[in-house]
Amino acid sequence: MNRRLFLQTTLTTSASLPLLPSTLAQSAADPEPNALPRWRGFNLLEKYIAEKQEPFREEDFRWIAEWGFNFVRLPMSYQCWAQPKPDGPQNWMVLDEKVLRELDAAVEYGRRYKVHTNLNLHRIPGYCVNPPAEPLNLWTDKRALEAAVFHWKHLAGRYKGRPNSEVSFDLINEPSQVDEETYVRVVRALVEGIRSVDPNRLIIADGLEYGTKPVYGLADLRLGQSTRGYNPLPISHYQASWVPIKEWPKPTWPMNWMGVTWDRAFLKSQFIRPWQQIQAKGVGVHVGEWGTFNKTPHSVTLAWMEDNLKLWQEAGWGWSLWNFRGSFGILNSDRTDVAYKDYKGQKLDAAMLALLRSY
């Protein structure tokens, strides 16, 4: 989640708990890209970084379902099951079946607990928003694009026959420093590859500029699009070491920052309405990531979260919190100002969970 230049681009581009009522239940009907369900859930990070990867945990899917949510996004590095080499992508296409079976298990957990599983290549051959840089450049190198197409075609074949109510694909996490024409060219190649194997797979594309800007050049491709909920940065990423802000303003909500009053109305005008305009052209919208780092005061976090949740509920959008377990999540977030509740050996932020369940 390295969002260098994120602020500039967003400003310029305008204890067991009871189940929730059935309003959160997974729809049995296959979702359509022009009207994505209001899926609500979490990002699970077991394969986010290849060097730290683990199998996905069945208990996560079970707890997510028991708490009334119906969606997980799996941001993954392709390096979990393939290794890049500086001399070219030919070795990127040698796949580790053992690791891929762990992905199969996650998809099966989703089916078992009626939690939709969204597969995202957070690191795709040739691009990742996080360091280190890839050996080749997805936007400029044909070999990287060929490798990226290969991986998505493999996943398409692997999950062909699974209904879209169970599985969807999110192509490239947070494209940055790429123009729309180039991004559209790459996405079209990936979509063509997937649909050559599985013509009906539900596919989602992240917006440009770290997922913040709708992509009108993709509006004719029958894709959903994914936005982000990290505005403003001094709330979502307060004191995060990877964000290049030297002097952090004290987070409040609402807050004044850079001569702007950040409140619910400002979020709506700058970060909801632009996406509603592409939604009106038949593009479904989902918030693929959002949340606050654990240094943001908890009271500020909850107030800011509630305004975002209200806006997305009004717009009919679903969302997935970054993350489930960890510094942005509801479990083991290591906040110093939260009275955690023990939940099966985990430190549960019960107040945040209650807020999420109410929307």
Angstrom distance (rounded) from CA 333 to CA 349: 8
- Is 318 contained in some domain? yes
Q: Is the pLDDT of residue 247 over 60?
A: yes
Closest CA to 127 of 82, 178, 90, 81: 178
Give tens-digit pLDDT for 275-305.
Answer: 999 999 999 999 999 999 999 999 999 999 9
Q: Is the pLDDT of residue 133 over 50?
A: yes
- Is 351 contained in some domain? no
In CATH, what number is assigned to the domain containing residue 151?
3.20.20.80
7: tokens are 């602020």
Mean pLDDT to the nearest integer, 223-229: 98
Q: Is the pLDDT of residue 12 over 90?
A: no
Mean pLDDT to the nearest integer, 336-345: 97
Identify the weakest region by mean pLDDT among 28-37, 71-80, 103-112, 312-321: 28-37
- Give 88's strand partners: 85
Mean pLDDT to the nearest integer, 326-339: 98
* Residues 266/11, Cβ–Cβ less than 8 Å: no
Give tens-digit pLDDT for 19-29.
Answer: 343 334 444 57
- Is 69 contained in some domain? yes
Mean pLDDT to the nearest integer, 119-144: 95
List the domain range (segments joined by +) for residue 196: 6-324
Q: What per-residue confidence (pLDDT) applies to 194? A: 98
Q: What per-residue confidence (pLDDT) applies to 16? A: 39
- Is 234 contained in some domain? yes
- Is 349 contained in some domain? no
- Is 331 contained in some domain? no
Angstrom distance (rounded) from CA 291 to CA 225: 19
- Is 67 contained in some domain? yes
* Total-model pTM: 0.91
- Is 43 contained in some domain? yes
Distances (CA, A) of 220 to 173, 198, 235, 278: 20, 18, 35, 11
**Number of domains making up the chain:** 1
